[in-house]
Amino acid sequence: MRYIRIFLLFFEHVYQYRSRIFVWFLVSLFHPLIYLLFWSGRGINTTGIITYYLFYIIAGGFFVHVEADARPDILEGQLTMYLIKPFSYLQLKFFSELPWRMIQGSMGFIVLSLIAFVLAVPIQIVGLPTDMLLAIVIAVFGYCVMFMFKMIILLTAFWTTDISGFQQLSEMILIVCAGFIMPIYALSDPVRQIIYLTPFPYMIYFPVMAFMGKLSLSDNWSILAVQVIWLVLFYGLYKVLWHHGIRKFSAVGI
């Protein structure tokens, strides 16, 4: 019950920044539409490719940006106020980030619904209820994997005074390897196999493919198993970085 109260408190705080949410939603909206126009201009406008980029409108809303808190929390010393709370830093960051993602993701779902029903654009979506439920589970785990990855980037601020370069590099790699620019299945086989060895396609690409019904039941379970493995690895790495990083942390005048 207390976690629900924490979530509601953060949700109330986030709702005060409705204009900022709308601006960031426009960013996540325009990028997939631009890519879709690019492929349509080259005669590739099948139902599958249209659905793919329309789903990325929703997926873009769930793109985690928690690593942006590295400067105020660690470099400027605001981490001290989290250390005295009866919840872990990881839990508080999870609940502070989740309302942003849910609101933007809901906006993406509304836009997708309007495009599908008002403009009568065909959407390719999984049909069976069990497959839909499994796709939702994969999407939840994908979000958690991305969140833990971004938290690890955040903690690197314990060892440097500026993580912006590392942050931008990881963002660029994630955008490419998570399928934002183009579907991973359209890449050559060697490149595709290398990307599959990274955690990035399991954050967004495979959840989108699951919702499109492009994956078999065995594929869904395999992807879910890999997501769990990455989540455990990232959590273990987070604990190690937190254990060593908190010893280096210092704040003056807080």
- In single-letter form, the type of residue at position 28 comes to S
Q: What pLDDT is recorded for position 248?
A: 78
C-alpha distances in Å from residue 178, one per residue of 7, 37, 92: 28, 19, 26
- Could you give the percent of the chain with pLDDT greater than 90? 41
195 belongs to a structural domain: yes
Considering 80-84, 90-94, 138-142, the range whose residues carry the highest mean pLDDT is 138-142
pLDDT exceeds 70 at position 116? yes
> Is residue 253 assigned to a domain?
no
Domain annotation covers residue 139 = yes
The CA distance from 45 to 90, in Å, is: 42
Residue 254 has pLDDT above 50, yes or no: no
pLDDT tens digits along 187-238 = 889 999 999 999 999 999 999 999 999 998 899 999 999 999 999 999 999 9
pLDDT tier for residue 124 given thresholds of 50, 70 and 90: confident
The helix (H) or strand (E) run that includes residue 21 is helix 18-40
Q: What is the dihedral of CA 156, 72, 68, 233, to 10 degrees?
A: 40
254 in a structural domain: no
- For residue 42, which phi and psi values (nearest 5 degrees)? -105, 15
In a domain, 236, yes or no: yes
The pLDDT value recorded for residue 97 is: 92
pLDDT bracket for residue 167 (50, 70, 90): confident
Q: Tell me the CA end-to-end span of the chain in Å, nearest whole number.
A: 31
Q: Could you tell me which residues come within 8 angstroms of residue 13 by beta carbon, excluding any fewer than 6 positions away?
A: 96, 99
What pLDDT, on a 0 to 100 scale, did the predictor assign at position 138?
97
Contacts of 209 (CB under 8 A, 6+ apart): 215
**Given pLDDT bands bounded at 50, 70 and 90, which one contains residue 251?**
low
* pLDDT at position 23: 85
Question: How many C-alpha atoms does 71 have within 13 Å on its Cβ side?
Answer: 6
CA distance 75 to 79: 9
In a domain, 82, yes or no: yes
pLDDT of 18 above 90: no
What single string gives the DSSP state of each residue in 150-172? HHHHHHGGGS-S--HHHHHHHHH
Alpha-carbon gap, residue 52 to 224, rounded angstroms: 20
Is the separation of the CB atoms in 24 and 104 below 8 Å?
yes
What's the rounded mean pLDDT across residues 51-55? 90
pLDDT at 252: 55
Average pLDDT estimate for 126-139:
91
Cβ atoms 208, 126 nearer than 8 A = no
pLDDT value of position 234: 97
Q: Which two three-digit tokens encode residue 16?
A: 């005060």
Average pLDDT over residues 175-196: 91
In this prediction, residues 100-109 reach a mean pLDDT of: 90
Local structure of residue 74 (DSSP, 8 states): I
Residue 177: CB atoms within 10 Å: 22
Nearest in space to 144 (alpha carbons), one of 235, 71, 25: 235
Query: Is 103 a domain residue?
Result: yes
Query: How far, in Å, CA of 126 to CA of 207, rounded?
Result: 11
Total number of domains in the chain? 1
User: How would residue 5 be classed by pLDDT, with cut points 50, 70 and 90?
Assistant: confident
Give pTM, 2 decimals. Answer: 0.91
Give the pLDDT score at 7. Answer: 79
Q: Chain-wide mean pLDDT for the chain?
A: 88
User: Looking at residues 36-49, what average pLDDT do you find?
Assistant: 77
Q: Could you tell me if residue 119 is inside a domain?
A: yes
Least confident of 5-9, 145-149, 151-155, 248-252: 248-252
Q: Which range marks the domain in which residue 206 is found?
A: 2-248
